[in-house]
Amino acid sequence: MISFVTAIAILLIGFSICSSLLLAITHFNKTHYQELVFSRYMGFFMLAGLCGLQIAHFFWLYADQDWIPTGAYSILLFVIAPAFFLFSQPILISNKQKKPTLIDLVHLIPIAVSPFLASWLALPLAFLLGAIYLVWLAFSLFRLRSEQENFKQEIFLLGGVFVIAVVVAILGFLRTSLQDKLFFSFYSIAIGLAFLLVQIALGLRPDLSHEVSETARYTSTTLNKIDCASALSTLEKLMQIDKIYTDAELGLAELARRLELNTHQTSELMNVKLGKSFSRYLREQRINAAKVMLKNEVSASVLSIGLNVGFSSQSGFYEAFREIEGMPPGQYRKLISSSSTS
């Protein structure tokens, strides 16, 4: 009979695999990682490793097929920490143009060695390696402590992932005191909970990786050289009065020119003072204008409204509207229409 803990583990294994596929399709795409190409591919690598682990756990917990002592399982164990490091590094040091280097190959050495390790040794060594990478992550996040107010909810959720990783590392060292299936049930549950917290964090902030990368650039600020209040006032005027967001070609360089700042200062101003990236801010301005038009211009088509507020395509308008409002623009129009007539 499957125990309660094992049943929960199997449930979360299924969630982990589905979540991996969902993240690969909806999050690790060119839109969110347009400039973080290396991080994107490392993200795929990490998801593949976690999926492989959970599949192995499923066969062990449900079908009693023990893949744990195999070299393939050891490789998967040693993939996760280096892949997570190589995924996070360009984001946390804001190295958007990062490409694989010879130094990066050092992180692949444990993966190459892992198939030759005895199974009783592979697990604690993999968790020890993970603990080292966790220390690096903690120091990297500490560098961004001045911006924690802008990412309060997200840091809390990702902090939960960090705590889960620490607990799993401790369990890994204590594995001998736990029954094998009980340990791997806890391990599977931990991975599933980590996926859940990441999904919630990305639901709150779909551009989280890009925005953290932008914030990381500003550990040495350039804002002390400008009048932030005046710049923000000018920005408000450009959006609300001049409505420059309706220009489909509007980019960071053009906005910086109008604010009489350079692009770095403009990007930092928005990330630090408004807590959002330029692309997110621009989408919000366009969606807010679209919401007003959807309510007031009942004869205008949804597509024409999207084009009028600055989107260059219907798909871009629908994607941005769903991201910010949680529903397509047509559904929003029906919702406000029914509420106004009731």
220-229 pLDDT, tens digit each: 566 777 898 9
Burial 301-313, CB ≥16 within 10 A → b, else e: ebeebbbebbbee
Confidence of residue 131 (pLDDT cuts 50, 70, 90): confident
Q: Give the whole-number percent of the chain exceeding pLDDT 70.
A: 86
Give the pLDDT confidence score for residue 188 in this predicted structure: 93
Query: Taking 60 as the threshold, does the pLDDT of residue 8 lie above it?
Result: yes
pLDDT, greater one: 170 or 333? 333
pTM of the shown model: 0.64
Confidence of residue 219 (pLDDT cuts 50, 70, 90): low
Query: Taking 60 as the threshold, does the pLDDT of residue 77 lie above it?
Result: yes
Query: Taking 80 as the threshold, does the pLDDT of residue 318 lie above it?
Result: yes
Contact assessment for residue 51 and residue 6, using Cβ atoms and an 8 Å cutoff? no
pLDDT, greater one: 139 or 124? 124
Confidence of residue 17 (pLDDT cuts 50, 70, 90): very high
CA-based R_g, the chain, Å: 23
Mean pLDDT of 317-339: 89
Give the pLDDT confidence score for residue 155 in this predicted structure: 66
Contact assessment for residue 147 and residue 268, using Cβ atoms and an 8 Å cutoff? no
**In sequence order, what are the residues at sequence separation of 6 or more whose Cβ sits closer than 8 angstroms to the Cβ of residue 243?**
289
| 97 phi/psi in degrees, rounded to 5 | -95, 15
Mean pLDDT estimate for the chain: 84
User: pLDDT, tens digit, for every residue of 258-315?
Assistant: 999 988 889 888 888 888 889 999 999 999 999 999 999 988 999 999 999 999 999 8
